[in-house]
Amino acid sequence: MANHKSTLKRIRSNEAKTARNKYQHKTARTWIKKVRLSEDKSEADKVMREAFSKLDKLVKKNIIHKNKAANVKSKLAKHVASLG
């Protein structure tokens, strides 16, 4: 167990940040799922834009790597293009 005050505070703040990051990551995955399950191209396009936004925010906050986001966005765009 930690002995220093600052170490205890760091442990608490890390737990809070981890919980927040997990929530944001899960939300982005939910939007990705919505894109994959959508049948209509116009609806999928709207949902895809929202998913792209979520992925970009994850990259900006260093939750996921920028190349992973680029790969996911590419696959989603390909999927939406195939709907039409």
pLDDT tens for the chain, 84 residues: list them.
Answer: 788 999 999 999 999 999 999 999 999 999 999 999 999 999 999 999 999 999 999 999 999 999 999 999 999 999 999 997
Distance (Å, rounded) from C-alpha 78 to C-alpha 82?
6
Q: What per-residue confidence (pLDDT) applies to 42?
A: 93
Residues 6+ apart with CB under 8 A from 25: 58, 63, 64
Structural contact between residues 32 and 76, judged by C-beta atoms closer than 8 angstroms? yes
Q: What per-residue confidence (pLDDT) applies to 41?
A: 93
pTM of the model: 0.84
Alpha helices in the chain (DSSP H): 5-37, 41-60, 66-83
